[in-house]
Amino acid sequence: MTAWLVVMRRLSLTVHASSATFCVTLGHLSSKPARPDIIREDYMNELCILQDDVPPFPNQVAFAIIEDELGQPLEKVFSKISSQTIAAASLGQVYRATLRETGEDVAIKVQRPGIEPIIYRDLFLFRTLASFLNGISLQKLGCNAELIVDEFGEKLLEELDYTLEARNIEDFIENFKNDPTVKIPRVYKKLSGSRVLVMEWIDGIRCTDPQAIKEAGIDVNGFLTVGVSAALRQLLEFGLFHGDPHPGNIFAMRDGRIAYVDFGNVAVLSQQNKQILIDAVVHAVNEDYVEMANDFTRLGFLASGTDVSPIIPALEAIWQNSSGKGLSDFNFRSVTGKFNQLVYQYPIRIPERFSLVIRSLLTQEGICFTLKPDFKFLEVAYPYVAKRLLTDPNPALRERLIQVLFKDGVFQWKRLENLIVLAKENVAKMNNNPALQVKNRSMNWQVQKKLDLTDTIRDGARMFLVDAGIRRQLLMALTEDSKLHIQELFDVYRLVQDEIDISSVALEVLRDLPEVTREFMLSWSESVLSDR
């Protein structure tokens, strides 16, 4: 470790001992492994110490802030409040309390006093320093250093706005309202403000305590499936992603649910970004490394117009080395570590939103390793992605399913069988979660007991009738190599026969028949006219 960094750390800790100044901002740079494109790993290891050396501020100061936000004395709102902080971080700290009116236990998050001007000052210093590094940054990362500081500062300042965090929580509650395996604490908005956030108390087990989880009778494999599926839903379905899921922010509920807290730091992904991420998964499955490289440009990792040809062999080497031995040997952290090396060889810059996604996935994989040392990320992630591709009615995902099933114009029968097997595995694992077995749950919860392929088959029938190109490809798939692939078709049917309600499928097809017929006639007439 370089001497300047050690001196900087000691200086910041000394200053912090009296006023919690410079290390608050500097410590947030240590969101390991958030920005390997900016800070080397050995530097990040040293900076991480700053986050662990932030002591709580006095109770009397915290209680005064709470009373100021409430506009009334503590004892009028809370019948009791903990004398010690439950958690303390650089931006605030948390107490446990009981509401006088209802007797409910709540968590009170209080912002560190005077933190905002300190952060503005430190960001100004960082930005001034960055202005001298713009030339190097443009050459190495493809953007100026001031922009990187601005992105970092924007996310940091968002964490100071507890009203924004309250809205984030409400969005997460809405997203998971029909998911019986995920618990998001509700917010008491009337008791919250810009510096104080009062939330439902989560009585869960820390995910770093595997023994306590087992003693609570929670199936570890089922819980891990729930956790990975919840993370992937945030990333690929909702586009609103928990940006800081460290072990103190994720809990195992005794009924098998996973619970998240602390929503000050979230990543927001556009619909386009979600679709590109799914494209990247499809291209990885198809081993299409040229398109994988282009996906990086579309996601903003590479500047528009960058020559991706030198990156293609590197991506191929990373992916084949990581997945070539099968799912059992895939390690998300090792892949990310190898990718991190690329950022020093090529002009790759990790956008802030994706730095949060990468950090979040790595942190959650680390939690999974704590609970199950031989945990394999893709053994859980692939079944979820397979189910999503097969069952999601989104037209864009239907198109990507076709891309997966065809390679070089040849239909991949074995790949279809694997997708079905994996998707059924995801449904089976989710159904084993104890949270789905608890009686008297809200009737709004939608539990999928089996792999429902009704919409997929209906859409497939529609595409077969309307799309001449798809129709031609499917007919060729059944007659490849001058033979009828009846056995392959039978093998696929055998996998899904228990998952299909023939009468429901027939009814759905009949309902769509007039519209499909109309589309077929329009398509046919257009093709006839174009031939003339």
Catalytic residues: 244
Alpha-helical (H) ranges within 2-100 are 3-19, 22-28, 41-52, 59-70, 74-77
105-142 b/e (C-beta count within 10 Å ≥ 16 → b):
ebbbbbbbeebbebbeebbeebbeebeeeeeebeebbb
Q: Residue 105: in which H helix or E strand, if any?
A: strand 105-111
In angstroms, the CA 325 to CA 337 distance is 18
Q: Give the SS3 label for residue 110.
A: strand
As a whole number of angstroms, the distance between CA 344 and CA 38 comes to: 9
* Torsion region of 114: left, alpha or beta (phi above 0 gives left; psi -120 to 50 gives alpha): left
Alpha carbons 359 and 495: distance in angstroms, whole number? 37
Tell me which residue of 85, 359, 163 sits closest to 245, measured CA to CA. Answer: 359
What Cα–Cα distance (Å) separates residue 136 from each residue in 130, 144, 343, 347, 361?
Answer: 10, 8, 14, 11, 30
CA distance 254 to 214: 10
Q: Are the CB atoms for 212 and 218 separated by under 8 Å?
A: no
**Length of the chain, please?**
532
Rounded CA separation 220/226 (Å): 10
Q: Write 1-8 long-range contacts (CB < 8 A, 24+).
A: 1/42, 1/43, 1/46, 5/43, 5/46, 5/47, 6/46
DSSP 310: T
Q: What is the C-alpha to C-alpha distance for residues 270 and 442, in angstroms, rounded to an integer?
A: 31
Q: Identify whether the C-beta of residue 335 lies closer than 8 Å to the C-beta of residue 377.
A: no
For the purposes of burial, counting CB atoms within 10 Å of the CB of 146, is it exposed (0-12), middle (13-18) or buried (19 or more)? middle
258-260 and 266-268 beta bridge pairing: unpaired
Closest CA to 367 of 252, 216, 264, 263: 252
Strands 92-99 and 78-81, bridge-based pairing: antiparallel
For residue 311, is it left (φ>0), alpha (ψ between -120 and 50) or beta? alpha
